[in-house]
Each structure stands twice: as structure tokens, then as C-alpha cells.
Amino acid sequence: MSRIGKKPVVIPSGVTVTVDGQTVSVKGPKGQLSWTVSDEIAIAQDAGSLSLSPRSDTTRARAMWGLSRTLVNNMVVGVTDGFEETLELVGVGYRAAMKGKALNMQLGYSHEIDFDPPAGITFAVPRPVEIKIAGVDKQLVGEIAARIRKLRPPEPYKGKGVRYASEVVRRKEGKKK
């Protein structure tokens, strides 16, 4: 039994959830998201909550049960509160700035890097060494953060690079005489 799947998804006020067959659409104050649930999962909508259950007792159905519940809950949280990821730039001369809606970064290369946000993503640069990525889709926010981090991942000797705000970079000792 899935402990996560057993919990109902609570729908807060101001959020509209529409179930059309296997497609779940969530509309809230920050935006709208939809996702098609696997055929192995049954969806039941009650007043103020949404519950999911497996149609059969197969291993895949039980695995998709918890996953589906979490993805639907992330959609509800995304349209009410949104998701945010913070990146830090560590290194001499590493900085970021906004150029219109695009993110302009100097990461130690001979050229500047411009990163255009996809639909539904916004960038903010509160400090030149800090980037905030916000949006309603948790998967898309995480993917964009990973793409920006991949431009200059943190290296273990000096710790220079782009890192998540909560990331701890294990430092290595340099060569000895």
C-alpha cells in the first residue's frame, strides 16, 4: 500500500480542478496546469478533495499510485503558491543581470551567456551573484535550474561555479609540494 497515494489531495479555495477521463486540469490564481494520469489509476473527485486509487494490484499500478498523487498535488501547490529555486554564482567576475526578460550571465568564459526563459518561467536577480527561478510547474522550474547550473557546475578545488543555494560542494585538497 502506498502511504503517499492513500492521502487525498486537498483542493484549497480559489482552485478549480476538472477531471475529464484521465486528464486532470488545475486552474488557480497563478496559472493553469493539466496532466494525463496513467490508465492504471482511478480518480475520484469529492467536495474539496481529490483521491486516487489503483485499478488493479499490479506492481506498476501501485508504483504509479503514489507518483500520480504527488504530481497532482504539485500541480495544486504550483497554481496556488508557485515554486522557486535559487542559484548562487561563486567565483571572481561571475555575475548575472536581467536583459529584458532574458537572463544575462558572465561565468568566466570569453563571452556572455543569454538564457531566454520558456513560457511560465520568470527570472529575478536580487543580487548580481544570485538567481531566482520561479514558476507554477515544479518539474520545469527544476529543469531550468539544472540547465543553468550545467553551464558552469561547481568545481571541487576552489568551489567556483553555479550552485543551488542549499548545495554543499565538497572541497578537495590541492596538490602538495
Q: What is the mean pLDDT of the chain?
A: 93
Which structural domain, as residue segments, surrounds residue 156?
83-164
Over residues 110-124, the pLDDT tens digits come to 999 999 999 999 999
Phi, psi of 108 (to 5 degrees): 85, 0
End-to-end CA distance of the chain: 59
Looking at the structure, tell me whether residues 13 and 66 fall in a common domain.
yes
Q: What is the pLDDT, as a whole number, of residue 176?
A: 85
CATH number for the domain including 36? 3.90.930.12
DSSP classification of residue 160: -
Looking at the structure, tell me whether residues 43 and 56 fall in a common domain.
yes
Contact residues for 119 (Cβ-Cβ < 8 A; gap 6+): none
Q: What is the pLDDT, as a whole number, of residue 91?
A: 92
Residue 173 inside a domain? The answer is no
Q: What is the pLDDT, as a whole number, of residue 175?
A: 87
Residue 177 inside a domain? The answer is no
Residue 148 inside a domain? The answer is yes
Please report the DSSP string for 87-137 in residue order.
EEEESTT-EEEEETTEEEEE-SSSS-EEEPPPTTEEEEEEETTEEEEEES-
Residue 61 inside a domain? The answer is yes
Number of domains in the chain: 2
Q: What is the pLDDT, as a whole number, of residue 5?
A: 87
Looking at the structure, tell me whether residues 56 and 104 fall in a common domain.
no
d(CA 141, CA 133): 7
Q: What is the pLDDT, as a whole number, of residue 1?
A: 59
Over residues 70-129, the pLDDT tens digits come to 999 999 999 999 999 999 999 999 999 999 999 999 999 999 999 999 999 999 999 999
d(CA 97, CA 122): 13
Looking at the structure, tell me whether residues 108 and 155 fall in a common domain.
yes
